[in-house]
């Protein structure tokens, strides 16, 4: 005989809420656009998860900055002359959560974060210079300087990722997000559709030929998370902390996304980062292993893509060969050199304080016969020149401080760490951090949302790994002391 248990008040309440919510969303689906209904359902869940597991809130920021969710599905709030975007709203929420979680004294004054605070100060100075000295429009100024606020993700991650389990959840979340971004990039490539709001989807053009049947599909700044995930998955497989049955398809999909981006700077800098990772992890043997794996992975990935689009082999070779002709006026390097010439003229007039945020450094011009874009008067590909222009010489020094300190302290942590997981994570972050450092010569990573987000979270991960390793080292020392005491025959109580 079946026995029925009388429902309690909590069960009745939850069931009633579920029924009401279902009916409400059903009615809204009839009246409102589908994407708006989906946004109303997904975003509250994401915010709830962020409140319960703040480290996943950081992953949500990466999702939103990378453009994985369509802009139509993400809310924004009007704030003065601009709007708070969805990822900025999440950052405000995480800041509030972090304020209640700061328990450890000196947590936010660690050495890792010092250059971050310096660049935030330089961003403030650049705002004053742009507004007072150069007469920038408030809307243009806020559009640029708000991106520097993303550096706050570094201290946020130090506060929100408080233990090894939280760090693992964050990394697993990044792996999943990177895989989804890679799938989106490949779908863009195969079907010539735009999925990522920050992506470029266009016919591939080189200096020698235009390929109307081959699509160039990019992930914007999210490409660096894909590279980080490739590195961390590969190291995990090498040390058997991640199943190779999971790593192989994961890496192949992400490698495919990197290939179809057709970014020569990305290819070269990733290779350099991979060699550095091999050296830091396995020394000389690692460099040889990485070289072999790179060849095998490249051939396998291009071969797999060629089964669907056979011309990709020819295109990839042409893309590499066309590098020798860069520097012509119509080449991508030629455009960057033209930007640099204008930048040097502006810097020669104000080399110390720069021209500030929201200020044009070059005249209005058309790009390849397209309509003139007023935003291009302030846009510059070379990040280092861009930082110097907008934040002055102190801003440039702050950026160089961030790069040098992160690489040096990350390298040091990868050698002195007691915990093997922290040691390998530090090596992976250093190798991954190197990639955008190199491409910043030709890409505005220090001035773009995705780039600043990546740099800030990489610094935060290293700071967290350093803290966790210190805890592990103190535990090891405690165990050694206990063993020495027991071997001496002295009881801890009697020793007092």
pLDDT band at 86 (very low <50, low <70, confident <90, very high): confident
Alpha helices in 330-448 (DSSP H): 332-349, 383-416, 420-439
CA–CA separation, 380 vs 340, rounded Å?
A: 8
CA–CA separation, 138 vs 133, rounded Å?
A: 13
29 vs 282, higher pLDDT: 282
Please enumerate in sequence order all residues whose Cβ is within 8 A of that of 108, keeping only pairs 6 or more positions apart, or say none.
Answer: 102, 155, 158, 159
Residue 203 has pLDDT above 80, yes or no: no
CA–CA separation, 175 vs 250, rounded Å?
A: 9
Lowest mean pLDDT among 6-20, 250-264, 322-336, 346-360: 6-20
Strands 210-217 and 77-79: unpaired
Q: What are phi and psi of 78, to 5 degrees?
A: -65, 130
Please compute the mean of the pLDDT values over residues 195-207 and round it to a whole number.
78
- Location of structure tokens 């992506």: 199
Lowest mean pLDDT among 97-111, 169-183, 436-450, 461-475: 97-111
188 vs 297, higher pLDDT: 188
Where do the structural domains in the chain lie, given as residue ranges? 46-101, 113-160+350-420+440-471, 162-325
pLDDT tens sequence across 414-425: 999 999 999 999
Instruction: Name the nearest CA neighbour of 65 among 250, 202, 196, 171.
Output: 196
CB 452 within 8 A of CB 147: yes
Instruction: Name the nearest CA neighbour of 237 among 225, 224, 250.
Output: 250
Residue 4 has pLDDT above 50, yes or no: no
pLDDT band at 120 (very low <50, low <70, confident <90, very high): very high
Counting residues of the chain whose pLDDT is more than 70, the rounded percentage is: 77
Q: Supply the pTM of this predicted model.
A: 0.85
DSSP string, 189-251: HHH----STT--EEEEE-SS-EEEEEEEE--GGGHHHHHHHHHHHHHHHHTTSS-HHHHHHHH
* CA distance to 113, 166, 398, 459, per residue, from 152 (Å): 10, 19, 15, 11
pLDDT tens sequence across 324-383: 555 555 667 777 888 889 999 999 999 999 999 999 988 876 555 444 455 678 889 999
225 vs 364, higher pLDDT: 225
Look at residue 82 and give its three-state secondary structure.
Answer: strand
**Strand partners of residue 469:** none
Please compute the mean of the pLDDT values over residues 442-462 and round it to a whole number.
95
CA–CA separation, 472 vs 460, rounded Å?
A: 18
Residue 246 has pLDDT above 70, yes or no: yes
Please compute the mean of the pLDDT values over residues 454-477 and round it to a whole number.
88
Lowest mean pLDDT among 37-46, 88-97, 217-226, 396-405: 37-46
- Location of structure tokens 């590195």: 231
Residue 418: CB atoms within 10 Å:
15
């Amino acid at each position: 005989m079946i026995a029925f248990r009388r429902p309690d008040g909590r069960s009745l309440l939850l069931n009633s809420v579920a029924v009401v919510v279902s009916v409400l969303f059903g009615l809204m689906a009839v009246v409102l656009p589908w994407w708006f209904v989906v946004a109303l359902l997904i975003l509250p869940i994401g915010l709830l998860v962020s409140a319960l597991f703040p480290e996943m809130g950081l992953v949500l920021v990466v999702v939103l900055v990378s453009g994985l969710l369509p802009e139509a599905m993400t809310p924004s709030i009007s704030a003065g002359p601009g709007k708070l975007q969805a990822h900025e709203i999440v950052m405000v929420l995480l800041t509030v959560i972090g304020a209640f979680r700061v328990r450890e004294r000196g947590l936010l004054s660690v050495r890792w974060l010092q250059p971050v605070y310096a660049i935030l100060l330089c961003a403030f100075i650049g705002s004053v210079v742009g507004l007072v000295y150069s007469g920038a429009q408030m809307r243009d100024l806020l559009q640029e300087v708000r991106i520097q606020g993303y550096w706050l993700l570094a201290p946020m991650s130090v506060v929100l990722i408080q233990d090894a389990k939280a760090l693992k959840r964050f990394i697993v979340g990044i792996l999943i997000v990177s895989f989804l971004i890679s799938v989106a990039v490949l779908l863009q490539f195969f079907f010539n559709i735009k999925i990522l709001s920050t992506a470029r989807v266009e016919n591939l053009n080189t200096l020698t030929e235009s390929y109307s049947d081959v699509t160039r599909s990019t992930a914007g700044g999210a490409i660096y998370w894909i590279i980080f995930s490739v590195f961390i998955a590969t190291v995990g497989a090498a040390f058997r902390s991640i199943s190779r049955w999971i790593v192989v398809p994961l890496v192949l999909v992400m490698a495919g996304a990197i290939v179809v981006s057709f970014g020569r700077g990305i290819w070269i800098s990733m290779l350099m980062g991979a060699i550095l990772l091999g050296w830091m992890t396995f020394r000389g043997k690692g460099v040889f292993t990485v070289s072999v794996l790179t060849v095998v992975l490249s051939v396998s990935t291009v071969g797999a893509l060629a089964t669907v689009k056979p011309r990709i082999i020819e295109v990839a070779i042409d893309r590499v060969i066309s590098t020798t002709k860069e520097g012509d006026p119509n080449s991508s390097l030629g455009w960057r050199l033209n930007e640099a010439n204008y930048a040097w003229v502006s810097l020669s007039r104000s080399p110390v304080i720069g021209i500030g945020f929201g200020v044009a450094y070059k005249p209005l011009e058309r790009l390849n016969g397209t309509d003139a874009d007023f935003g291009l008067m302030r846009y510059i590909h070379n990040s280092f020149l861009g930082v110097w222009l907008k934040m002055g010489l102190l801003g440039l020094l702050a950026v160089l401080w961030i790069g040098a300190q992160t690489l040096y302290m990350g390298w040091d942590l990868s050698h002195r760490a007691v915990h093997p997981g922290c040691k390998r994570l530090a090596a992976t972050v250093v190798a991954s951090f190197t990639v955008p450092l190199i491409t910043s010569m030709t890409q505005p990573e220090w001035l773009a949302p995705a780039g600043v987000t990546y740099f800030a979270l990489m610094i935060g991960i290293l700071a967290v790994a350093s803290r966790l390793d210190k805890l592990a080292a103190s535990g090891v020392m405690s165990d050694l002391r206990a063993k020495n005491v027991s071997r001496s025959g002295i009881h801890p109580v009697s020793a007092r």
